[in-house]
Amino acid sequence: MLLLSAAIAPSIALLYYFYMRDRYEKEPRRMLLKAFMAGSLAVIPVLIVEMRLNLFDMADSSLLAAGYTAFVVAGLVEEAFKYLLFFMYIWKDREFDEMYDGIVYCVFISLGFATVENVGYVLGSGFNTALIRSLTAVPAHALFGVTMGYYLGIAKFVRPALRTKYTRLAFLVPILLHGFYDFILFSQRFYMLVLFVPYMLYLWRRALKNVDELVEYSPYKQVLRDADDIESEE
């Protein structure tokens, strides 16, 4: 139970944080649960596809093997499934009614996937793995989700002429961010590993900037301001 709790705790903390940043209209629990469960169940098809695409042995430390595994096997496959799930379960739902919702739902999908993945790693490798992944892999999945949700949130409400641009960015940018994250680790080169902490800080800074930007575009913000103005006049 201790290991299981250690595996799940980082996801709960991150889910709570990004959920609470939505100050104006919280998303329904049924929708959040659907997003989280969709991400959780995606682990199975993702593993099947990754196993078929993996051309290199994990002991192969060549940059070609690291690049292919990082950007194609991990980055492309995992982010593509999250992207597909968003369009299957969230895109057309009436609850997706403000830009920041894109971030919330993508984070829940991403952390659904990351939680199941993390449980597998932790139960197989122990508490030290739980501690390391709670500071690295689990937050990374959430941050990739923020990036995807940022572009999808804009795509939903931008004028139609720009929609294709932002849906493409929502697909491509998380793959690149995810791929580079894994490439740093898979390369097993010291000169790459020294980039890991700065890169994590960059991901956090980028994600929090995206969050702050879309929270400010909530239509409910203006409604609350108008209500405050009416109360002050009375």
Looking at every residue in the chain, the average pLDDT score rounds to 89
Whether 184 shows a pLDDT value over 50: the answer reads yes
Name which of 102, 80, 109 is nearest 174 in CA terms.
80
As to burial, measured by CB atoms within 10 angstroms (0-12 exposed, 13-18 middle, 19+ buried), residue 95 is: middle
pLDDT band (50, 70, 90) for residue 225: very low
Q: Under DSSP, is residue 126 helix (H, G, I), strand (E, B) or coil?
A: coil
Distance CA 97, CA 43 (A): 28
Residue that has been written with the tokens 């894109």 in this structure:
102
Name which of 67, 13, 95 is nearest 185 in CA terms.
67
The two three-digit tokens of residue 110, written as one number: 């991403």
Q: pTM for the whole thing?
A: 0.91
- The answer to whether 147 and 173 have CB atoms below 8 angstroms apart is yes
pLDDT tens digits along 49-92: 999 999 887 667 789 999 999 999 999 999 999 999 999 999 99
The two three-digit tokens of residue 30, written as one number: 């049924």
How do the residues of the chain divide into helix, strand and coil, expressed in percent and rounded to 5? Answer: 85, 0, 15
DSSP letter for 56, please.
S
Measure the CA dihedral 133/112/210/30, to 10°. -150
Angle between helix 77-89 and helix 160-187 axes, rounded to 10 deg: 150
Whether 97 shows a pLDDT value over 50: the answer reads yes
Residue that has been written with the tokens 């993945």 in this structure:
117
- The size of the chain, in residues, is 234
Using only C-alpha atoms, the chain has a radius of gyration, in whole angstroms, of 19
Q: Locate the DSSP E strands across 41-132.
A: none
How far is residue 149 from each of residues 4, 76, 169, measured CA to CA in Å? 28, 16, 10
Sign of CA dihedral 38, 199, 131, 48: positive
Least confident among 25-29, 85-89, 103-107: 25-29
pLDDT tens digits along 30-51: 999 999 999 999 999 999 999 9
